[in-house]
Structure 1
C-alpha cells in the first residue's frame, strides 16, 4: 500500500493554480482530497479532474476568513472521510498594487483576513482533528514576500511574513504531538496572479529576474507540498521552504 492510500488531504484555495495542482498531486499519490474555495465552478472542475484520473474528491464552498465556514469544512471532511491527515492552507489574495500610504483600511483588512487570519483559522480547526488521530502534517502557503521585502505590495508582504511566523509558532506548539507544520515560499509562479499584477509582458520580465530564468510552474510547488507532508520529511517542522528559482539568494 502506498504511503498516501486511505489518507485524507485538504487543500484550501483548490480552485486553480497552485491549489489545483497540489490537489491533483495528492490524489495521484492515493489520497482522498477535499477542495475548499469560494469559487464553485472552478472548484468543481478540480474535483472532476481528480475523479477523471481515478481519484476521490469532493468540494466544500468555504470562505477561510469566517470561522463558522472553516469549522464546517473540517466537520464535513470528517463526516465524509472520517479523518484529516494533511492540509495545505493555500487560499490567498495579492490585494491592490500601490504604495502603502495609498492603501485603504478595507484593502488591509481583506488581505490580512484572507492570507493570515485564514491560515490561522484553518489550523485552529485542522489541528484538533489531527490531535484526535495522533498526528498529521500541515503546509501553509507563504511567499518569498514572506522572506524578503517588495515595494508596492506592503500589505501582502506583511501577511506573508505573518504566515512564516505563525508556522514557526504552531510547529513548536505541536512538535511533541506528532503534528508537523511547515510553509512553502514560492517566487513567481505561472498562474493568474502575476498576470493580474504585471500583465503578460511584465510577467515575462519578472520570470527573467529569477536566476533560473523563468517563472515556476504550479506543479513544482505542489511536489514540494506533498513531499513536506510525506514520511520523507518526518524530521522537518517549522521551516519555510523557498521555491524560487534562486530569487532570494541572488
Structure 2
C-alpha cells in the first residue's frame, strides 16, 4: 500500500473528483482529512470510503480563517500533511462576457482562485517546515484554451495553472513538489450543471456535443482523474514538479 499512513488532505471531498480521490487514497492505506462546505455532504461521502483514519472538516475555502483552521486541524490530528489535493471548485453561470455579472465573477474567482491560493498559502507552510510533501491542484483543460460563454471559469483555471507553476518554483528548494491535472469533461454532477448551463432544457444534447468533441468520444470518469492524482502524489513521480497534465481522451492533440 504505497500511501500507508500518509496524511492526505483533500478539498471538495464530498463528491466528484474529490470523493473519488478520497476512495482511492483510502484503499492505499492513507489517513484522510476531507474538507467540504457542508457537514451533511461529508457524512454521506464517508459512507463510501473505506478508511481506518478519517477526519471530516466543514469549511468555506474562500474564507482565510476557515482555510487556516482546516490545515491546523489536520496537523493537530495527524502531525503532518504529506499530500494536498487542492480540488474545490465551481463552474459558475455561463454567459457571454458582456452579460456576465460582477457577483458571478467574484464567486467563481473566489472559490477557484482565492480558494486554491489560500490552500497553498497554509499547506505549503507545513510542507516547507517538513521539507517534504506533494500538492496536486485541480485545474482544467479550460485553463489551456478559451471557450465562449465560459470566460470566468476559463480565466480562473488559467490562474490555477499560474499559481501551480509559481508554487512549484518557490517550494523546490524544500523538497516539495507541486503539479496540476487539467481534465476535459468528467462524468460528475458538476458536468451535469455545465450541460444545463450550456443548453438549458437540452442538456442531453449538450452532453452529446461535449462528448463528441473528445476523440475517445466520452467523458472521463472521476476515478480516472483520481488515478492520475495518485501517480503525481507517489514516489513514481519524484522528479515531476511545476507541470500540468492533460487527461482529456486525446482532446489536447487537436489544438496547438
TM-score interval, smaller chain? over 0.9
User: Does the C-alpha gap of structure 1 residues 84 and 54 become closer, same or farther in structure 2, counting only changes over 3 Å?
Assistant: closer
Q: Residue in 2 aligned with 1:215?
A: 219
Output the TM-score relative to the length of structure 1.
Answer: 0.96
Superposed structure 1 runs of 4+ greater than 3 Å apart: none
- Residue 106 of structure 1 pairs with residue 110 of structure 2: no
DSSP 3-state at the match of 1:205: helix
Match of 1:229 among 233, 243, 252: 233
> How far apart, CA to CA, are the structure 1 residues paired with 2:123 and 2:229?
17
Contact 1:139–1:225 at 8 Å: present in 2 too? yes
Describe how 1:78-227 pairs up with structure 2 within 5 A.
Answer: 78-198=75-195, 199-227=203-231
Contact 1:47–1:58 at 8 Å: present in 2 too? no
Question: How many residues are treated as equivalent by the alignment?
Answer: 247
Q: CA offset at residue 54 of structure 1?
A: 4.5
Unmatched 5+ residue regions in structure 2? Answer: 196-202
Contact 1:143–1:185 at 8 Å: present in 2 too? yes
Q: CA offset at residue 47 of structure 1?
A: 2.1
> How far apart, CA to CA, are the structure 1 residues paired with 2:8 and 2:27?
12
Q: Residue in 1 aligned with 2:74?
A: 77
CA RMSD of aligned residues (A): 1.0
User: Does the C-alpha gap of structure 1 residues 63 and 54 become closer, same or farther in structure 2, counting only changes over 3 Å?
Assistant: closer
> How far apart, CA to CA, are the structure 2 residues paired with 1:216 and 1:116?
23
Unmatched 5+ residue regions in structure 1? Answer: none
